[in-house]
Structure 1
Amino acid sequence: MKKLEIFIIGTRPEIIKIAPILLKLDRSEYYLVHTGQHKELAEEAFETFKIFPDVKLDLMTENQDVMLFVSKCLESISKLQLTTDNISRIWVQGDTATAFAGALTGKFLKIPVVHVEAGLRTHDVLNPWPEEMFRTEIDNISDILLAPTETAKRNLKNMSSEKIFVTGNTIVDALESIKEKLPTDSPYEEQYVLATIHRRESFGDKMIEIFEALKELSKRIKMIIPAHPNPNVRKALKQVGLEYIEPLSYFDFLHHLKFCEYVITDSGGVQEEAPSFEKKTIVLREKTERVEAITAGMSVLVNPLTKENILQTIKDFTSRPVGFSSNPFGDGHASDRIINLRNNSFSVMNDIFSKKVCVFSLTYNRPEYIKRSFDSLYARAGIKFDHYVFDDCSDDETTEMLHSLQKRYSFKLFQNRTRLGIFKNFHMNVRAIPKEYDFYVKFDSDVEILSDNLLFELIEVFNHDNTVCGATPRVEGVYGTQRIEHKHPRVDFYNGHVIKLDAPVMAGCCLMFSKQAFETVKHLTDKELTETVEKWAVDSLLYEHSLKFGKFVTVEDLSVYHIDNSYGQRKRDMRYFIERNRWGTIDIDEIWYLRLSKDIYPTFLGRPVLELLKRSSNNDYDMFLKSCKSTIEHGILETEKPIEITNIIQKIKDSDMPKMTMYKIFAPVNFVASKNMKKEEIRYYEKLPDWCKHDPGVVVEKIKMSVSDA
């Protein structure tokens, strides 16, 4: 049975913004449900775009409570008998009660939800109410977030970045499809101002103030006010004695927008449409989630909403020039991008999300490390997983912390009655993990994840190359451990990730294994466990075993932080996070270009290249990024010094891992006490500090280190 995609819509703006997507789909591919949140306005929109619902629920009644409407939507949609067997995705648009009910339906039925126009925020849950609450919760629920602008994407920074896509706003697609068909003459002989007012948060005294201001303005210029059918709006208009017209069809509204002098509105859609007609927009709201036009100088926000302030703001804003260029909300191709994503990335993501992942952690004391580690795991894994925790008879404080974390995260906790040691703890308890997972992750309890969506991104590497049987991110913060590198490790790209091949595991803090590599690890018998001693670490055992089934790779653009070697001991800890960007690993803009440029320089681009370019003179680094960006955007190489950039990249390619001089300073146990360092402490400096020359308790060694290590 072929699965359908279901679109659940209710208001006219939802219909207008979903229409460009539906018109690019085959009619047999989707099922359209209309809740009736708008009735007459919706019928006109359906007719305009020639799309018609399969089901009309007709749930709206006059002055209906929002909570009651949402509950009626959930009840009515549940009767449609939607299941994962017959529906592949649920699509919702915007921030309406209908969209909220549709997203909840998907969550309850475990059907993936796609949110069109995700990420809009005023950052005030009561303004607008309840739209700000609706869109925030819809974003939390949804599996795919289609943000219209980069600003909207930034508002989703706490979401999994792998499910966020910037597409542009489909309303620009809708109006562009109609724009050329509009009449060439104005609907009125005289000049006029177009005004639309309907926001729920303005009902009452604020709306009276607004209409009083518009009535005063109408003495100087003709006012065209298509009245929203909401009884609260009509009541205020009549109370003030302000003339209005009945709601316009979408076609007629765009005709009026095309020829008006400027527009006064509290509508989100009108804020997005007006720039396409180069119309100044006065936004009668205390806050707006569509700040792009305000930032571009095309619109202005009126706050407070008093008669005097409204009139003064209109006078000031309309008297100054505005430079219109392109519409900041979209270019008319949002629906094309969405369909392309639907046909490609969605299926890849759904495949990764369908994988079963097991994470296991071995714990012993250090509750502050465990909390920091587990919090980062659940915040930045980027995919669902089952978590097994094997505790090796920790103290009471740690046990209490583990139980507290278990209540929060619901992991499976196994506690030894006596201390076994790491090696025996693993072999005794690993039997409790069912053989039903696609991937297994050894995650140490003294490691903090720095990269968002870490597990999701690691699985991408396995999917790209089926010869990979194990993968690990870079380990940051291992100050006291020697970093072992092969003389000439190979650097390559897998699906946009910087991959180091033929390099041994430096620290087994976070290791992901394929099903075959992990499930064939020998489980020691009780007798063998009694007789064995810990000759090597668990990570070494797993690493050596996995090589029998393929290759093990280090993913250089993903990072975890080894808390144990620095946390609570070095003052550099906080500075480290600030300087290295705790949320990103490498500089975010740099790694973005690095990922995008994988098809341009696929064999030798990597962290060492970026680091050496950054340190070089003549702006080589900036020029290199510029050339990457130009090539990505235009398909050509635009730079002032292409030969010099080529030369420096070739030099890096030839040397593979560039080295730099560093000073290693060590405070040995058998020396006199150092005045500046603790016993056995090791530090590295690019320049030799003066205090070393006068400290008899330290040894200085001049060494060569790779740029990335340094």
Structure 2
Amino acid sequence: MAPVIKETIRQHVPYSLILTGQHRETFDELQRNFDLPSPDLVLVPEEEVKDRISLLTWAMKAWRRAGSQELRKIWGRSSALVVHGDTASTLLGALIGRRFSLPVAHVEAGLRSFDIFHPFPEELIRIAVSKVSALHLCPDPIAVNNLRGAKGTKLMTEGNTMLDALRIAVGEIADIDATPAQPYAVFSMHRHENLFNRQRLDRALYILRELAEILPVKFVLHPVTHSRLTKLTLLADIERWQGVSLVERMDFVSFGRLIRQSRFVVTDGGSNQEECAVLGIPCVLLRQATERSDGLNEGVLLADLDIDKIRPFAQRALGHPYRAKSLPANSPSQVIVSALREYVTERGPG
């Protein structure tokens, strides 16, 4: 949403930026990366959600704060409430919009894996948000078609806002050498179904160790991943694995630099799938299903946790260093903000 915020400012559309506080550390990094203004208000400023208990605590506090007098004034002068994606914050924002009779505009609407357990709970969140949204901002025709039975206005945005974010980030990393002296892969895992199912977690870590025998692997630790591996007393063991180096989760530009120099990326994140597909970086997706079509049957392998598929993919990728791709010229953020501007104008003051 960072490029959407910047485009909103560029087009002089009045707005209020409300953070839920689910991942405050992440916003602080993005604020620096994209030179964003400070938020007008943070619902829960004192905690970072890192596990299921803190998630529940955060949600309860955020819901109560949403009804405060200060926020009621903001809701009262607003014409729409904009949410993005499929996170817990997305659902919270959509429910707040419903609570205060604000039309919900959903950015990145219409993505579907058609499997409620993969990814879980994101697929359920996407379905729930589509039920209460008035404006569905869809990245492609497939997403529009997925919402053919949903109420409200569907608009194709000609891509995802990730294009605009990458365009900004690529400017920061364009001069980085794409072929470092020692090749490496990037491994990133943070999804609920992989971390909290011990059998799947063990299989994922087996894949990590197997890949480290092919080439060095940089294991990027999300806060929830760090917390889970520490709780299971696995982190100390992984630190001693030959060929595996642990890297704390980093900001968007730094992560772009990391994958820009890698031979391939192994991840369970849909946004990483999209980034790699746009940049032309081979990518293994540790999921049974994906809501995105980006890169499938090209540079992205939907492998779940099948090492017999992943190993030959990794070996092929090792022999083919990254070659830069030109980013598409269109700006989804411009389409989104123009659509919001028209929608707000039609609804009157706000």
Match of 2:187 in 1: 195
User: In structure 2, what is the Cα distance between the partners aligned to 1:322 and 1:185?
Assistant: 10
CA apart distance, 1:321: 11
User: Which residue of 1 is the match for residue 145 of structure 2?
Assistant: 154
Contact 1:210 1:306 in 2 (8 A): no
1:670-706 CA distances to partner (integer Å, 9 max, x unpaired)? xxxxxxxxxxxxxxxxxxxxxxxxxxxxxxxxxxxxx
1:102 equivalent to 2:93? Answer yes
Distance 1:192 1:333, change over 3 A: same
2:13/2:341 contact within 8 Å kept: no
**Residue equivalent to 2:58:** 69
Alignment check: 8 A CA contact 1:170 1:332 kept? no
Counterpart selection for 1:55 from 41, 45, 48: 41
Offset of residue 175 of structure 1: 1.0
- 1:206-258: CA deviations, max 9, x gaps? 12211222222112212122211111145544444443112222111111222
Residue 208 (structure 2) aligns with: 214
2: distance between equivalents of 1:67 and 1:158? Answer: 32
Q: What are the Cα deviations for residues 108-128 of structure 1, in whole angstroms up to 9, with x where unaligned?
A: 111111111101111111221
Distance 2:343 2:49 in 1: 40
TM-score normalized with structure 2 length: 0.84
Q: Is the 8 A contact 1:192 1:221 kept in 2?
A: yes
Task: Indicate conservation of the 8 Å contact 1:300/1:317, yes or no.
Answer: no
Report which of the two has the higher share of strand: 1
Q: Which residue in 1 is equivalent to 2:228?
A: 232
Q: Which moved more, 1:241-250 or 1:76-85?
A: 76-85
2:167 to 162, 173, 176: 176
- Could you list the per-position Cα deviations for residues 380-407 of structure 1 after superposition, in whole angstroms to 9, with x for gaps in the alignment? xxxxxxxxxxxxxxxxxxxxxxxxxxxx
The answer to whether the aligner puts 1:125 opposite 2:126 as a matched pair is no
Q: Is the 8 A contact 1:298 1:322 kept in 2?
A: no
Asked whether the 8 Å contact 1:298–1:324 carries over to 2, the reply is no
Deviation at 1:336, TM superposition (A): 1.0
Structure 2 spans left out of the alignment, 5+ residues:
none
For residue 98 of structure 1, report the CA deviation from its aligned partner: 0.8
Question: Match of 1:509?
Answer: none
Does structure 1 conserve the Cα–Cα contact (< 8 Å) formed by 2:263 and 2:318?
A: no
Cα separation, 2, equivalents of 1:267 and 1:178: 19
Q: Deviations over 1:306-341 (max 9, x none)?
A: 4445435544677799999777xx655001111221
What is the match of residue 250 of structure 1?
Answer: 252
Task: Calculate the aligned-residue CA RMSD, in Å.
Answer: 2.8
Equivalence for 1:137? 128
Provide the rounded CA distance (Å) in 1 between the counterparts of 2:317 and 2:145. 29
Letter of the 2:15 counterpart: Y
Which residue identity lines up with residue 221 of structure 1 in the other structure? L
The question of 1:24 aligning with 2:14 is answered no
Equivalent runs, 1:634-653 vs 2, <5 Å: none
- Counterpart AA for 1:232: R
Higher relative contact order (CA 8 A, sep 6+): 2
**In structure 2, what residue type is equivalent to 1:75?**
R
How many residue pairs are counted as aligned between the two chains? Answer: 328
For residues 141 and 24 of structure 1, the distance between their equivalents in structure 2, rounded to whole angstroms, comes to: 25
Q: Give deviations 1:573-614, integer Å, cap 9, x for gaps.
A: xxxxxxxxxxxxxxxxxxxxxxxxxxxxxxxxxxxxxxxxxx
User: TM-score, normalised to structure 1's length?
Assistant: 0.43
1:234-313 matches, within 5 Å, as 235=232, 236-240=234-238, 241=241, 242-295=244-297, 297-303=298-304, 305-313=305-313
Moved beyond 6 Å, runs of 4+: 316-327
2:58 is equivalent to residue 86 of structure 1 = no
SS at match of 2:63: helix
Distance 2:318 2:136 in 1: 36
SS of the residue 2:246 aligns to: coil
- Partners of 2:269 and 2:67 lie apart in 1 by 31
Secondary structure of 1:143 counterpart:
strand
The correspondence of residues 521-560 of structure 1 with structure 2, limited to 5 A, is none
Instruction: Please state how far the C-alpha of 1:34 moved relative to its aligned partner.
Output: 1.6
- Read off the aligned partner of 2:185 and give its amino acid letter: V
Contact 1:69–1:97 (8 Å) recurs in 2: no
SS in 1 for 2:213: coil
Structure-2 change in CA distance of 1:321 and 1:194 (3 Å): closer
Q: Which has the larger radius of gyration?
A: 1
Secondary structure in 1 matching 2:260: helix
Cross-structure match for 2:153: 163
Secondary structure of residue in 1 paired with 2:106: strand
Residues 149 and 81 (structure 1 numbering): CA distance in 2 closer, same or farther, change over 3 Å? Answer: same
Distance 1:320 1:221 in 2: 14
Given that 2:260 and 2:322 are in contact with CA atoms closer than 8 Å, whether structure 1 keeps it comes out as no
User: Once the two structures are superposed, what CA deviation does each residue of 1:96-117 show, in whole Å capped at 9, x if it has no partner?
Assistant: 1111011001111111111111
**1:216 is aligned with what amino acid?**
E
- Residues 82, 131 of structure 1: alpha-carbon distance in 2 compared, 3 angstrom cutoff: farther
State the match for 1:577 in structure 2: none
Supply the AA of the counterpart residue of 2:245: E
The one-letter amino acid paired with 2:248 is: E
User: Secondary structure, in 3 states, of the residue corresponding to 1:146?
Assistant: strand
Note closer, same or farther for the CA distance 1:30–1:188 as it changes in structure 2 (3 Å cut). same
Q: Which residue of 1 aligns with 2:24?
A: 39
